[in-house]
Amino acid sequence: MQSIWRSQLAIQVTRRDFLNGVAIGAGGILLQSCGGDLEPSAKLLPGVPTQFSPPDASAYYPPTLTGMRGSHEGSFEVAHALAWRGEKPSQYKPLDEHYDLVVVGAGMSGLAAAHFYQKKMGPDARILIMDNHDDFGGHAKRNEFHQGGRMMLSLGGAQNLMNPDSYSKAASSLMRAIGIDEGFITSMGANTPADQFLGGEMTEPNGISLPGPDGHTTLAGSWLATIFGGEGYEKYVRTLPVPSSEQDKFIDFFGGKRDFLDDMSLSKTWKYINTVSYNRFLLDRVKLDETSLPVMNSILVHNTGMSGWNLSVLEAITQGGPGINSLGWLARTSASIVGAFIDSLLNVKMFPDGNASVARLIVQNLVPAVAPDMQGPEDVAVARFNYDALDRANQPTRIRLNSTVVGAREIDGKHVEVDYVQKGQALRVTADHCVMACYNALIPHLCPELPEAQKEGLQYGVKTPFVYANVQLDNGLAYDKLGAQIFQCPHDPFQWVSSAPGMSVGGYEPPRGPDDPMVVFMMNSPMTEGQEQGSGRDQLRMGRHRVYSTPFATYEQQIRDQLQSMLGQHGFNHERDIRAITVNRIPHGYSYPYLALDDPEWEKGEAPHEIGRAQFGRISIANTDSEAIALMDAAFDAAWRAIEEQTAGK
């Protein structure tokens, strides 16, 4: 998901903005254009690789846990009992703990809220951050593997820093405070090999893999260039294992050989592209076979978490779906806009564990004892974190994991009581102020005294579900023979398969070649099964149900079958070569972005997320839901707003 990458959905612009000449875009990495030709300082690492021993088996260290992660067992049951059945403890044990600020949620907004409060009120401010999961970071989770003295990293959620030079003043100040300044961002580019598609090098080989009776047909080359009619796209299309008649339609559509809306006036065309789903357009106008829809949706499901049934033609085209060349006047009038949009995506940077490193930097800044020897972003990826130091009584800021908040209320206008459940115990702390940095739709259950209109605003949006999987392989020999790092797999359970990020950022040493152990990163969007049934929010709810109801064993079998079919012809044997599988379940992923097919264009201040985020006395709300943008800097901006509300006049 950040995506749900992400720093996932990115530039949230209304349809009115488009008419005014502003591009609508998505934050998914697949649309981020090519970076400059950087010297790949990490492409070949000389000498003996640094040896890393795994954490002691008895130590509490969630990043190395495998199996079902993300929304893991033990993290959601209490909240579901409250939200679904209104069940929560009737009595709580008051702890002798009073804080200046309690933050509910240790994701990016929650950590940022603590940072901004500490910065404004001083280093001695007493802050408690609570989270229902066993790790901090929210969607920015770190997956860590060890084999033969080597450490391998991958991401379990939010992926990259997108256009950090465009962050707000508040968000930029946080980034500088944790060491991610202009100089370090430049060094990130220098330490990202030029062949890293995940690092924004969009000209590097990227392919498509389609299942067949004898295993997958996996094609390298440049699938991204093909779907946008790039050089050699016709030849690439002719290699696809689809009927020649369908290939002909692909070629016309990708290359703009005809305008599929040429029978409409400008006004009717504009209405059509805003009120008709992308998939309906593909079936009715392009005359594609229904079996081709997943191929056309493959970029969309990564960028937005939704299929072409959920997005209008305009939304899909401007968020990664092919077809801009085949919309006649729209293609001609928007060419410069799309070009400007692509230019704006040049600046994408990434840690090897995604934005988990950013979360680690904020945590170490708040609680130095977790990694006292860490220098900063230059060694954050390899620094050893001591989770036992997160919640010590003798430090001003504490992070309390495995703690599900079930209630928060203002008492006599003087302080806030916060109730939570930790390992079956019902406990209570008090604070002068509280920031709700959790899932919007849960907040009405935590604060039932909120006005009804605010509750409705908070519960309007439905977050986009995802599943991120990381698979530790004994070596990369079979994968290397595929000829590219990343593949779209539109007909498979996991529609994205790639090697894990290979940047030597934060002190990390990525695999040096195919003989080394490697991690395969895979992503599943449950939204591809949707049809024209109900609203996008309804379909998001169904997708969330599919994520929650699918057991780890099913995901594991899907992963093994898919990789075996893709890699088997190159000597891969899943029973021998797979060392570990981590499935990051993200049922509440990207923030709801509003959809042209379902939602009106509210006036400023009247959108549900704006109504929902209103300050409620000593309680403020900070999350990407409150900004309706699933980006890390939006999480930071929301946190800054909440702290300004709570410290006004101080």
> Would you say residue 549 lies in a domain?
no
Q: Is residue 409 part of a domain?
A: yes
Degrees, nearest 5: CA angle 578-580-584: 125
What is the pLDDT confidence band of residue 530, given thresholds at 50, 70 and 90? low
For residue 403, is it within any domain? yes
Confidence of residue 348 (pLDDT cuts 50, 70, 90): confident
Can you give the pLDDT at residue 529?
A: 65
Query: pLDDT tens digit string along 171-224?
Result: 999 999 999 999 999 898 888 887 777 776 667 889 999 998 889 999 999 998
Q: What residue numbers bound the domain in which 428 lies?
A: 69-136+390-459+609-620+634-646
pLDDT tens per residue, range 39-94: 333 344 456 678 888 888 889 999 999 999 999 999 999 999 999 999 999 999 99
Question: What phi and psi values does residue 431 have, to the nearest 5 degrees?
Answer: -155, 160
DSSP reduced 3-state for 265: coil
Mean pLDDT of the chain: 89
In a domain, residue 258? The reply is no
Q: What is the pLDDT of residues 133-178, one digit of tens each?
A: 999 999 999 999 999 999 999 999 988 888 888 899 999 999 999 9
CB 202 within 8 A of CB 224: yes
C-alpha 99: how far from chain center: 31
What's the pLDDT tens digit per position in 465-477?
Answer: 999 999 999 999 9
Does a structural domain hold residue 280? no
More confident call, 58 vs 460? 460
Residue 164 lies in a domain: no
Long-range pairs for 372-380 at CB < 8 Å and ≥24 separation?
376/178, 376/179, 377/178, 377/179, 377/180, 377/184, 377/506, 378/179, 378/184, 378/187, 378/506, 378/507, 379/506, 379/507, 380/351, 380/506, 380/507
What is the arithmetic mean of pLDDT over 114-130? 97
Q: How many domains does the chain have?
A: 1
Is 374 part of any domain? no
In a domain, 437, yes or no: yes
pLDDT digits (tens, 9 = 90+) for 281-339: 999 999 999 999 999 999 899 888 999 999 999 999 888 899 988 887 766 665 554 55
| CATH number assigned to the domain comprising residue 638 | 3.50.50.60
**Which of 116-120, 164-168, 342-346 has the least mean pLDDT?**
342-346
Stated pTM of the model: 0.92
